[in-house]
Structure 1
Amino acid sequence: MTAPETLDHITTLIQEGEFFKLKKLLRTFQASELVALIENEEEREQLIIFRLLPLELATQVFEYLDLEVQRHFLENLAQDKITDILNEMSPDDRTALLEFLPANFVAELVQNLSEPERRVTLQLLGYPEYSVGRLMTPDYIAIRENWTVQQVLDFVRQHGGQSETLNMLYVTDARGKLIDDIRIREFLLAAPTTRVRDIMDHRFVQLTADQDQEEAIDIFRRNDRVALPVVSFEGILLGIVTLDDILSIREEEDTEDIQKFGGSEALDEPYLATPLLRLVQKRAGWLVVLFLGELLTASAMQFFEGELQKAIVLVQFIPLIISSGGNSGSQATSLIIRAMALGEFTLGEWWRVLRRELLGGIMLGLILGVVGFARIAIWQSITPIYGPHWLLVASTVGVALVGIVLWGSIAGSMLPLILRRLGLDPATSSAPFVATLVDVTGLIIYFTVALVMLRGTLL
């Protein structure tokens, strides 16, 4: 049965009240298939389908549902069903959900958790927002260095079902301090009588509970791990962070940067879930700032009004000048912000960035300058619309383009670095902001070049 046919069949079973048949059918689906199925249904059908799932499968499905759908379920499901699901959820996924909910709702939900799960949840929620502590799960396997491989494997068989991942095992001392991490393949390949201490190399990577999540993303990327241990200041093992949580945070960070890059504040909720007035509020601030910035463009043109009246031909090239500078600045901003996010250079290497953009800006400006000069020359040969001084006009446009593209490249590359140095988010120097800045200064460069090159002829 194809996906559309399956969806129609389920809808038919719901309409006919054949819930026993539907319950049997739903058990044949994988969790990922049920997630896609539920998110494609209307809200009423979503609740019916979810209520018919067995607890274990319902928990798996719930963890992967969109946060907005999760919140809808929490508001409409029976209290005992909600409690059972929250108790079965992994602590890190449960924490991510609770962060999304109103404080009074969270307090009620936490109160209904079992004692062990409530203790873990309150501990995770007690860490600063955006810290690694909010992501970690206490479900891991810890072993001792004096154990044999056989003891380790027996322990894994007995307790591994509750662990978030079995890829890595963590060696701790009597106080719970982390002293090594070992891949489970090492135990599978070693003799049963081998001691853990004989396999250890004392080389491991760790995170601290109060560490920023963005730092954790970078550490995961550099070390190619599926999980990393989280320790306290004293080195006590508190939990682990897995790659799926890091990927979720990476997606959130990228989404926030892209939204800011478009000249808007980052949204706190999915686009369609954000109230219209709040959406307008998020976008209006930057639009007003950019609009006021563009008013300076009008001021610059008023300042050079006399020159424009004498050489009206210059007006034709203003859109060309403005767009070229803004485009070069936006390009540079995009490249630098992404390079900073990937850790390709540090703030101390700003001079290397400046040198590259100086050389690159000159070369790009020369390319556009030659194209602009050629365009005027070709049009003049077809229709002499630029008058007897067309060569000077073409040279003015060409030279101005070199200066404006160079300035756009420098401004676009340095602004993110300056913001980072001030402790601000580099994504704030969005493409529209850089474009507006370069628009105003580009006009000043253009008319200044025109005053120098056309003095005594058109001016």
Structure 2
Amino acid sequence: MGNPQSHLHPADLDDVVATADPAAVTDWLRRTPLPADRSHEMARLSREQLAELAATASDEDAIDILESVDEELAARLLRVADPATAARFLDASDSDRAAEILRELKEGPRQQILDALPPERAAGLAGLLSWPPDSAAAHMVPEALTVPLATTAAEAIDRVRAEAAALRSDARTGAYIFIVDEGSRLLGVVGFRDLVLAEPGRPLRELMDTEVHSVRALDDAEDAARTLDAFDLVAIPVLDAHGRLLGILTEDDAADIAEEEATEDAERQGGSAPLEVPYLRASPFLLWRKRIVWLLLLFVAEAYTGTVLRHFEEEMDAVVALAFFIPLLIGTGGNTGTQITTTLVRAMALGQVRLRDVPAVLAKELSTASMVAVTMALAGLIRAWTLGVGMEIAITVTLTIAAIVLWSALVSSVLPPLLKKLRIDPALVSAPMIATIVDGTGLIIYFMIAHATLSQLQGL
């Protein structure tokens, strides 16, 4: 006998959509609190089912869905909804979140939704969309509480109360009250707690802190998020080039930026362009498109390794045993470089290393590499001895391993900060790339040392 509850409350989202019952959507949201689970189930819905979900869900539930699933999936839901319905949902969402979702839409559907929004709201979102996607301003909340300088604590509280509706559901925007002049230039800041506890008649000029940490609108979003985190702030003001207050970057936005950047760095370090969608939603064609360019570039770059081997063909014919150690040597160089770049790129992402720190990085990594070189050289000596290739070749291999480890450490320590200075993402110095660079140069080092140590190669 079936369970009557399963009929009243469908378990799967596709069954919920089939009921066309708003209460069933509400119940599904209650039973599926985790954003990842909601996204996973929504991603399986067809276009028609998504349209039915948008038409069925109450405004409150639709907003809950848009706030909890990823931007690409939220945009997909709005794309199939009626523009007026989509506009109603977005109008009740936080501005920064609404802008993130709209940015995922093509120009046509995006403009239709903006046209259906109230003019003031549409203008605010259009302003956010006008900033470069990687800038601090693109991620800011434009609703910031501002008061003029000639205001008392009581007057400021009254103004905060009057403007509370502009904060929407985002209480973070009320953490600070910003004091501005007639031109909206930022003069100072007062914490909400300090304002509430102050004497009603006390002027804000006596309460405000004029040493305000801020970021510029065109600052890189990752750098802005790092600044907010460094000063342990709930929100940080975003200013234009003239010092005018445009909005605030909140700690939640900073956390999202950091997570997104960490994901992109991880994908780049794996030798792939970042995906714009969650992995399970990426088609084989998209994965091919994101990977093939890097693979072709690495293929071309790796081709010079074959050129090096061909150049030293006579040396390998004269001493066949040299070929035994090529995989070992280039693998050691690539592994050494990968360890360094992985550590260094992450340290740079956290703001721990900058270009001016290169001398300190070099000193640290070359000191470490010296110890690693000695250890790996001894391991290489043992390996050469077990293969019975003779003392001359064993010495050649030992010296080459030490030299390649040091060379790899040098290249891997300098490249990431240099790329950062050139405004290129240092994560591009991925494991495959650094291995490719070290492979060919390592072989050149190998045969140069062989020429110097092996009697059989004298005169070649």
* More deviation, 256-265/185-194: 185-194
**Deviation digits for residues 319-373 of structure 1 (CA, Å, limit 9, x no counterpart):** 1111001111112222222222222233233233223333222221111001221
Q: Structure 2 vs 1, CA of residues 34 and 19 (structure 1 numbering), >3 Å: closer, same or farther?
A: farther
**Higher mean Cα deviation, 107-116 or 307-316?**
307-316
Amino acid at match of 2:326: I
Letter in 1 for 2:92: E
| 1:13/1:22 contact within 8 Å kept | no
Separation of aligned partners in 1, 2:14 and 2:422: 60
Q: Does structure 1 residue 130 correspond to structure 2 residue 134?
A: yes
For 1:382, the equivalent position in structure 2 comes to none
Aligned in 2, Cα 1:30/1:144: closer, same or farther, shift over 3 Å?
A: farther
- The reply to whether residue 371 of structure 1 matches residue 379 of structure 2 is yes
Cα RMSD of the aligned pairs, angstroms, is 3.1
CA contact (8 A) 1:31 1:60 kept: no
After TM superposition, give the deviation of residue 102 of structure 1 in Å.
Answer: 1.0
Distance 1:289 1:10 in 2: 45
2:364, 2:84 → 1: CA distance?
62
Query: CA 1:56/1:162 → structure 2, altered by over 3 Å: closer, same or farther?
Result: farther
> How has the CA–CA distance of structure 1 residues 18 and 336 changed in structure 2, closer, same or farther, with 3 Å as cutoff?
closer
The residue type equivalent to 1:77 in the other structure is: A
Mapping of residues 16-55 of structure 1, within 5 Å: 17=19, 19=21, 22=24, 25=27, 29=30, 32-33=33-34, 36-37=37-38, 39-41=40-42, 42-43=44-45, 48=52, 51-55=55-59
Aligned pairs for 1:54-203 (under 5 A) are 54-163=58-167, 164=170, 165=172, 166-203=174-211
CA distance in 2, matches of 1:418, 1:193: 55
Letter in 2 for 1:246: A
Matched residue SS, 1:204: coil
- C-alpha distance in 1, partners of 2:296/2:14? 51
How big is the shift at 1:9?
Answer: 3.6
**Aligned residue in 2 for 1:415:** 415
Instruction: Provide closer, same or farther for how the CA distance between residues 367 and 193 of structure 1 changes in structure 2, counting only shifts above 3 A.
Output: same
Going from structure 1 to structure 2, the CA distance change for 1:320 and 1:102 (only over 3 Å counts) comes to: same
Three-state SS of the structure 1 residue aligned to 2:163 is helix
TM-score (norm 2): 0.87
Q: Which amino acid aligns with 2:396?
A: T
Q: Which runs of 5+ in 1 are unaligned?
A: 380-384
Structure 2 counterpart SS, 1:40: helix
| Distance change (3 Å), C-alpha of 1:170 and 1:321 | same
Aligned counterpart for 1:265 among listed residues 270, 273, 281: 273
Aligned to 2:405: 405
Q: What amino acid sits opposite 2:215 in the alignment?
A: L
Letter in 1 for 2:229: R
Measure the CA separation in 2 of the matches of 1:397 and 1:321.
Answer: 8
1:127/1:11 CA distance change after superposition, 3 Å: closer
Unaligned stretches of 5+ residues in structure 2: 1-5
Q: Which stretch shifts more, 128-137 or 395-404?
A: 128-137
Cα 1:6–1:403 shift into 2, 3 Å:
farther
2-structure distance, mates of 1:119, 1:148:
31
Q: Match for 1:288 among 296, 299, 303?
A: 296
TM-score (normalised: structure 1): 0.87
Secondary structure at the residue paired with 1:398?
helix
Secondary structure, in 3 states, of the residue corresponding to 2:345? helix
CA distance in 2: counterparts of 1:129 and 1:203, whole angstroms: 29
Cα distance between partner residues in 1 of 2:400 and 2:235: 54
8 A Cα contact 1:146 1:197, kept in partner: yes
Distance in structure 2 (CA, Å) of the matches to 1:123 and 1:422:
29
Matched, 1:249 2:249: no
SS of equivalent residue, structure 1 residue 180: strand
1:341 to 334, 349, 367: 349
Counterpart Cα distance in 1 of 2:64 and 2:179: 29
Task: Report the AA paired with residue 159 of structure 2.
Answer: F
For 2:94 and 2:411, the matched residues in 1 are separated by 46
Identity %: 29
Cα distance in 1, alignment partners of residues 409 and 36 from structure 2: 46
Aligned counterpart, 2:432: 432
Q: Structure 2 CA distance, aligned partners of 1:38 and 1:445?
A: 52
